[in-house]
Amino acid sequence: MKSLIGDLLLQRLAAARGAASTAAPTNRLLYDCLRGAILDGTLPAATRLPPSRDLARELALSRNTVVFAYDQLLAEGYVRSRVGSGTFVAEVFPDAYTNVAPRASAARAPRAGQAPSAVAMPPLSQRARGLLGRISAASVQWGAFMPGVPDVTAFPHRRFAQILAQHARRGSPSLRSYATAGGHPALQRSLANYLRQARSVNGEAGQILITEGIHQAIDLVTRLLADPGDAAWVEDPGYWGTRSILGVNGIDVRAMPVDIEGLQIPENTPDDPKLRLAFVTPSHQYPLGSVMSLTRRLALLEAARRRRLWVVEDDYDSEFRFAGQPIPSLQGLVDDAPVIYVGTFSKTLYPGLRTAYMVLPPALADTFRSAQMELYRGGHLLEQAALADFMDSGQYAAHIRRMRILYGARRARLIALVEERLGPGWIHPFDSNAGLHLVLSLPAGVSDVDITAEAGRAGVLVRPLSRYYAAPDAPAGLLLGFASVPETAMAAPLDILARCIERAVNRP
């Protein structure tokens, strides 16, 4: 004769096995059923459970299955065991203050007439609500014409994997531990040499901090050099990631307009004691493409010294200039410039590497290394060691040269298609023949957000220019990335996009 507990568990096991999404072994299902009955009060505190042998016979299961469930419940505190007395439901168990057990929900049906109870969750922070209200990161990061994405298929993955495997075989155990010096010393040295030659950056290896992408670099700068309530200049339009990180850290974002010479520096304005930082992309303004003039660069450095603020130079894709020589860095323009230089391998190699770097003034280097280790516990030393070898062997520079030729041809092809399909005059006037995307200007009154959505439904990925501005009445335009799209694959998606633009322009 079956006990009441045996009948209860037979019913719950049958329900659990009938659930379409259930693929758990029987011992886990039995555990879930018992746990669910304890949580919803069907098995109240101090209830004595049947001996494992008896329950196994009632349920037609092996005794080991029941023992597993009992032992797991005992380990998690749902039951207690008395030697010689048996197993009892505990008076207090881990989920005593919850109304619903997540893993037990499939095995437990509500009692007749019982409505599911709602659990009151603590609210999100004000910072979280503000961040979620301005989400800009795209959910798809590959395809025509996703901006900001390099051709990751053209990277010499096999060769890099060989270098990485060599370090994995012969490297010391420390390569698999936390980073303690702001990154692998070999990569810091390689970067110092490369940046000095290629970007005219002044800095030694000890001034370089390797970070998990540009966002971590910006977050670290913001946390260490500004307090909540302080202010920062950002370009308008500008990179949404910078604005999001500043905002979530409580920084007052001051959007400064951009023209053909770069960020416009306010004149004849009183010094603001709250102003701490200025974020700029002087070599290739993001997203419009202008190059900051020498006059404007010197004025920015003078304003930074006078106002006692740090300039953060985001040099995100300066390697890809398709006419003339690369633009020298702002950081190396004058001695002791109040500039923190930030760069990344996301555009030159591939974004999934998640490796960026900062060149810090000597006075900040030790502070930033200590803070990074305390806040983020950096790692990936194996990859950094391999990357240092990749650079020192000349393969990094060779890869950039190959990609510059490849991207230059793709850029020229996309411009030709735009002019052939839409006519002249669509490329934004600030374009400077560089980078990995084009900006199309749209007529006033046309919604770039609507065009983006319509093109996305047809499988074409672009980004609306208006979303890069702080003001709601921003100019309309579209960002088209060409780096990851072969020349032979551009015409079809461009034709789809052109039809979306024409419908929007001709819409009454």
Share the mean pLDDT of the chain: 89
Among 11-25, 44-58, 64-78, 149-163, whose mean pLDDT is lowest? 11-25
Q: Tokens 């009938």 appear where?
A: 18
Q: Look at residue 139 in the predicted model and tell me its pLDDT.
A: 67
Residues of the chain with pLDDT > 90, as a percent, come to: 73
Listed ranges 40-44, 75-79, 341-345; the one with the highest mean pLDDT: 341-345
Among 17-26, 35-44, 475-484, whose mean pLDDT is lowest? 17-26
**Statement: residue 325 has pLDDT above 80:** no
**Statement: residue 104 has pLDDT above 70:** no
Q: Look at residue 178 in the predicted model and tell me its pLDDT.
A: 79
**Statement: residue 113 has pLDDT above 50:** no
**Statement: residue 337 has pLDDT above 50:** yes
Residue type, 501: I
Residue 2, C-beta contacts closer than 8 angstroms, at least 6 positions apart: 10, 58
In 3D space, the residue among 212, 199, 251, 221 whose CA is nearest the CA of residue 397 turns out to be: 199
Question: Could you tell me the pLDDT band of residue 283, with boundaries at 50, 70 and 90?
Answer: very high
**Statement: residue 269 has pLDDT above 90:** no
Alpha-carbon span 434 to 287, nearest angstrom: 11
- Other Cβ atoms less than 10 A from the Cβ of 195: the count is 22
What secondary structure does DSSP assign to 45-76, as a single string? TTPEEPPHHHHHHHHT--HHHHHHHHHHHHHH
Question: Could you tell me the pLDDT band of residue 141, with boundaries at 50, 70 and 90?
Answer: low
Q: Look at residue 473 in the predicted model and tell me its pLDDT.
A: 86
Summarize pLDDT for 467-497 with one digit per residue, the tens.
Answer: 999 988 899 999 999 999 999 999 999 999 9
Among 72-81, 170-179, 402-411, 478-487, whose mean pLDDT is lowest? 170-179
Alpha-carbon span 180 to 172, nearest angstrom: 15
Domain boundaries along the sequence of the chain: 4-107, 155-393, 398-506
Superfamily of domain 398-506 in the CATH hierarchy: Aspartate Aminotransferase, domain 1 (3.90.1150.10)
Q: For the residues 96-109, what does the mean pLDDT come to? A: 44
**Statement: residue 98 has pLDDT above 60:** no
DSSP alpha helix (H) spans, 95-239: 126-132, 157-170, 185-199, 213-225
Alpha-carbon span 323 to 332, nearest angstrom: 22
Q: How far is C-alpha 308 from the geometric centre of its chain's CA atoms?
A: 31
Task: Reply yes or no on domain 155-393 having CATH 3.10.20.310.
Answer: no
Summarize pLDDT for 358-385 with one digit per residue, the tens.
Answer: 999 999 999 999 999 999 888 889 999 9
Q: For the residues 33-55, what does the mean pLDDT come to? A: 91
Q: Look at residue 137 in the predicted model and tell me its pLDDT.
A: 66
CA-to-CA separations, 301 to 284, 336, 419, in angstroms, rounded: 18, 10, 39
Alpha-carbon span 460 to 492, nearest angstrom: 10
SS3 329: coil
Q: For the residues 221-228, what does the mean pLDDT come to? A: 97
Q: For the residues 142-171, what does the mean pLDDT come to? A: 91
Task: Reply yes or no on domain 4-107 having CATH 1.10.10.10.
Answer: yes
Question: Could you tell me the pLDDT band of residue 285, with boundaries at 50, 70 and 90?
Answer: very high
* 436 and 347 Cβ atoms separated by less than 8 Å: yes
